[in-house]
Structure 1
Amino acid sequence: MLAKRIIPCLDVKDGRVVKGVNFVQLKDAGDPVELAALYDQEGADELVFLDISASVEGRETMVDVVRETAGSISIPFTVGGGIKSVEDMQRILRAGADKIGINTAAVLDPGLITEGATRFGSQCVVVAIDARYNPEWQDWEVYTHGGRKSTGIRAVEWAEEAVRLGAGELLLTSMDADGTKDGFDLPLTSVISRKVSVPVIASGGAGQVDHFEQVLTEGCADAALAASIFHYKEISIAEVKEGLREKGVPVR
């Protein structure tokens, strides 16, 4: 088993880190540059920065904040939110990002995945998928625009298509589990992880060390992402990693 990654996530709105429950009720959680530097020091394997209102507001990602954040860390750094073109990708990579996360734009223009992979390499292209269970389908549906718009697209099929088009990694968020701290969505994560040949980052629902262990073993995820439990100091990255080591899960 390859070493599993623990990844803090900075959801940024108006230049501040925020966190909510099920994509709503957002609360302030701090300064993105300060938090990024702290997580780097604490042993995070990577960092994800999502400008969560950029797509909704129809504007570009905050390049200045990305540049400042990149300058404060030495770990791999994925940036998403409001990226609609290869030119946007290039601007964010030049600002210091190692990987680009695309979600809404990838659904609206799937060819952007291939364009980005061709230009910068698949390893740079992370397709983020926000999924919610649809009881009528008995399956998961993809949502865009920060979880505001349903697409009528099945999440498992979209994951497979995104990889076929050139995605080097998937960032899979369960909207049902987001912010609940009741555990990751194991059925969703495991079915997609087993269907695709690229790493899957599980997101949504982390509340304790056991949740990380479950999603990295039963859920077959390659990495686990969390936000609020790290932001509000409920658990540290070091505690998560130590707990995983004790349970026999390889971590860096």
Structure 2
Amino acid sequence: MLATRLIPCLLMDDGALVKTVQFKKKTYVGDPVNAVRIFNQKEVDELILIDISATTQGRGIDFPTIQNIVGECFMPICYGGGVTTVDEMRKLFALGIEKISISSAAIDNPALVRRAAAEFGNQAVVITLDVKKNFFGKYTVRTHGGSRDTKVDPVTMAREMEAAGAGEILLYSIDRDGTWSGFDLTLLQTVCDAVSIPVIACGGAGSLEDVRAANQDGHASAVAIGSMAVFQGKDLGVLIKFPSREQQESIFEQG
């Protein structure tokens, strides 16, 4: 087992797989079930699936599509998007989801995190923090697809979510999303060093060297890749792919 986890992060919009750039400019990638089948063949250890329109468009959780995906998936899935209640979490876990990511609902109501952690265990509760620099260069946590600024810095928010019972943080850089320009190592290191729970780096991966830097320099416990998992390369066509076990071993030294 590799000491550091590498995870495909798939974005879903109205049942279709898409990829964004800085949370905008959506590109259609394909059917999520077909993508999952390919990741099965590549023996991926886990998967992150985020419905990016469930909250922003008030659509709620697309349970039928999730059921179809889980039915084809051989690996644990962390699902996020539109989750607002413990009852919804129960239904997702009943479908076979392994972990649930909460974002805006957790930020608006930290008590939801406490209730979820108490019922399902800390390890099952992941908090997604979408972070963007403002005009003055200050990092703040955003919700609703980046359109709402909480005015709260990510370290403060991460610590609050850890105290509420979150078992993991998915730290997503809006500025780096889909840019292939590498992770925001300053943001990563600052948040990772401020909490004791694992932090997953997300947003900006363009190469295996970027992935290594997120772990070694940014101190991320795990690394999520989006564009690298669904495109041949920057400005190239769709290709569902994932680094081989040997490639992962070459960038992550085992402890």
Q: Please give the alpha-carbon distance, in whole angstroms, between the structure 2 residues aligned to 1:35 and 1:248.
A: 25
Q: Please give the alpha-carbon distance, in whole angstroms, between the structure 2 residues aligned to 1:7 and 1:153.
A: 27
Using the TM superposition, give the Cα deviation of residue 242 of structure 1 relative to its aligned residue in structure 2, in angstroms: 3.0
Using the TM superposition, give the Cα deviation of residue 247 of structure 1 relative to its aligned residue in structure 2, in angstroms: 4.1
Say if 1:213 and 1:244, in contact at 8 Å, map to a contact too: no
Equivalence for 2:130: 130
Q: Please give the alpha-carbon distance, in whole angstroms, between the structure 2 residues aligned to 1:42 and 1:175.
A: 28
Q: Which amino acid aligns with 2:12?
A: V
1:237 is aligned to 2:236: no
Percent identical: 37
Root-mean-square deviation (Å): 1.8
Q: Which runs of 4+ in 1 moved over 6 A?
A: none
Q: Rate the CA distance shift 1:121–1:248 in 2: closer, same or farther, 3 A.
A: closer
Q: Rate the CA distance shift 1:152–1:31 in 2: closer, same or farther, 3 A.
A: same
Say if 2:8 and 2:224, in contact at 8 Å, map to a contact too: yes
Q: Which amino acid aligns with 2:27?
A: K
Q: Helix, strand or coil for the counterpart of 2:254? A: coil
Q: Please give the alpha-carbon distance, in whole angstroms, between the structure 2 residues aligned to 1:213 and 1:149.
A: 31
Map of 1:1-252 to 2, 5 A cutoff? Answer: 3-136=3-136, 138-234=137-233, 236-239=241-244, 241-247=245-251, 249-250=253-254
Q: Helix, strand or coil for the counterpart of 2:206? A: coil
Q: Helix, strand or coil for the counterpart of 1:49? A: strand
Using the TM superposition, give the Cα deviation of residue 135 of structure 1 relative to its aligned residue in structure 2, in angstroms: 4.7
Q: Helix, strand or coil for the counterpart of 1:61? A: coil
Q: Helix, strand or coil for the counterpart of 1:195? A: coil
Q: Which amino acid aligns with 1:246?
A: S
> Any idea what the Cα deviations from partners look like across 1:153-182, whole Å, max 9, x if unmatched?
111100011001000010000111111001
Q: Please give the alpha-carbon distance, in whole angstroms, between the structure 2 residues aligned to 1:124 and 1:233.
A: 32
Say if 1:122 and 1:167, in contact at 8 Å, map to a contact too: yes
> Any idea what the Cα deviations from partners look like across 1:175-234, whole Å, max 9, x if unmatched?
111110010111111111111111111000011110000001111111111112211234
Q: Helix, strand or coil for the counterpart of 2:204? A: coil
Using the TM superposition, give the Cα deviation of residue 56 of structure 1 relative to its aligned residue in structure 2, in angstroms: 1.1
Q: Helix, strand or coil for the counterpart of 1:207? A: coil
Say if 1:175 and 1:204, in contact at 8 Å, map to a contact too: yes
Number of residue-to-residue matches in the alignment: 249
The TM-score, its normalising length taken from structure 1, stands at 0.94
Q: Please give the alpha-carbon distance, in whole angstroms, between the structure 2 residues aligned to 1:22 and 1:222.
A: 23
Using the TM superposition, give the Cα deviation of residue 238 of structure 1 relative to its aligned residue in structure 2, in angstroms: 2.6
- Mark the runs of 5 or more structure 2 residues left unpaired by the alignment: 234-238
